[in-house]
Amino acid sequence: MANMASAKSAGMKSAGMKSTRTKSASPSVCCGSVADVPLDEASADALATAFAALADPARLRLLSLISSAEGGEVCGCDLVEPIGRSQPTVSHHLKILFEAGLVAKEKRGVWVWYRVVPGRFRELRAALA
Amino acid sequence: MANMASAKSAGMKSAGMKSTRTKSASPSVCCGSVADVPLDEASADALATAFAALADPARLRLLSLISSAEGGEVCGCDLVEPIGRSQPTVSHHLKILFEAGLVAKEKRGVWVWYRVVPGRFRELRAALA
DNA sequence: CCAAGACATCGACACTTGTCAATGTCTTGT
DNA sequence: ACAAGACATTGACAAGTGTCGATGTCTTGG
């Protein structure tokens, strides 16, 4: 019976003392990598939320449009047409990207200008180490 | 007038001839980064599907468990209890991870052993460039 | 051949998500 | 003050997703 398996699952439990204090990650993820052992539920939730923001074609294309814009920023008014969705839908997606910390926005007059947040992408890349 | 904006959205249209032939990416993503201009729909869909596989806490914890296992692989039988979900649910998640190319599996007798696919993670990290 | 155990599949259900039309809130030029 | 335009919010709906219990399919040891 090949079961170091059962044996293993029985004995391994003490390693649970993570430094849960990892910067407290206020709104979004911040730390915690897939390589962590074990990834605690809280970190997993935060990471999952972040990746969920990337799990939509429309949002990926928005990110692509924003990051490739000259000057590194784009007026929201220029994002609706290329995406091919309604204005409320684009607004919705931009909100999700913003709340995930993937983009920053700044209101200038009537317009809102968006730009990507490189540090956030670095974090997520690090989580895929 | 702050409107290079409207001007821009008006004039840019001819760029529509995508090279839809971008390697065809058979089962999963392969190419295409958020930094691509523009990210075509097909690449966006593929990338979104890949990130969707990462957009669940249970799956992230599975990846964490698998990648941190000694020898780099784990028997599926040891993944059910630590995740705290039913066996069918864990099986379901492993299937999604497998189909996303994030893990490989090998049947040995009654058991199935899982290991992560580093190259796949590299691809996704590259997409977040 | 049979019983046991590891996985997979199925059916069902609650919950989430992407989308749009309609409508609301600001800001600006007239 | 007003009309126009850029965004945001709301309400509704179809489609997708995570979860489980029940059941099916293999493989192995007896």
Looking up tokens 């994002």 gives: A79
Residue A7 lies in a domain: no
The pLDDT of residue A30 is: 55
Residue range(s) defining the domain that contains residue A114:
57-129
3-state secondary structure A26-63: CCCCCCCCCCCCCCCHHHHHHHHHHHHHHCCHHHHHHH
**DSSP-assigned states of every residue in chain A:** --THHHHHHHH--GGG---TTSS--SSS--S--TTSTTPPHHHHHHHHHHHHHHS-HHHHHHHHHHHTSGGG-EEGGGTHHHHTS-HHHHHHHHHHHHHTTSEEEEEETTEEEEEE-HHHHHHHHHHT-
- Identify the bridge partners of residue B115 per DSSP, sorted by sequence position: B104
pLDDT at site B27: 40
Residues A111, B55: C-beta atoms closer than 8 Å: no
Would the CB atoms of B58 and A39 count as touching at under 8 Å? no
b/e map A101-122, b = 16+ CB within 10 Å: bbbeeeeeeebbbbbbeeebbe
Express each pLDDT in A53-84 by its tens digit. Answer: 999 999 999 999 999 999 999 999 999 999 99
Region of poorest pLDDT, from A23-27, A99-103, B73-77: A23-27
Q: What is the pLDDT of residue A31?
A: 54
User: Is 60 exceeded by the pLDDT of residue B10?
Assistant: no
The domain that holds B40 is classified in CATH as: 1.10.10.10
Q: How many domains, chain A?
A: 1
pLDDT tens for B51-110 read: 999 999 999 999 999 999 999 999 999 999 999 999 999 999 999 999 999 999 999 999
Of B63, B74, B47, the closest CA to residue A54 belongs to: B47
Domain membership of residue B7 (yes or no) is no
Whole-number Å distance, CA A80 to C1' D11? 22
In a domain, A101, yes or no: yes
> SS3 for B12-70, per residue?
CCHHHCCCCCCCCCCCCCCCCCCCCCCCCHHHHHHHHHHHHHCCCHHHHHHHHHHHCCH
* A-chain residue closest to B8, CA distance: A78
Q: Within a domain: residue A24?
A: no
Count of C-beta atoms within a 10 Å radius of residue B39: 25
Q: Assess if residue B6 is contained within a domain.
A: no
Q: Answer yes or no: is B14 within a domain.
A: no
**Residue A100 domain-assigned (yes or no):** yes
What confidence category does residue B35 fall into, taking pLDDT thresholds of 50, 70 and 90?
A: confident
Q: Which of B41, B65, B128 sits opposite A38 (nearest CB)?
A: B65
Q: Which helix (H) or strand (E) is B114 found in, with range?
A: strand B111-116
Cα separation, B45 vs B61, in Å, equals: 24
* Residue A9, both tokens: 């699952």
* Distance CA B128 to C1' D27 in A: 43
Query: Is residue A67 in some structural domain?
Result: yes
Of residues A106, A101, A93, A105, the one with CA closest to residue A119: A101
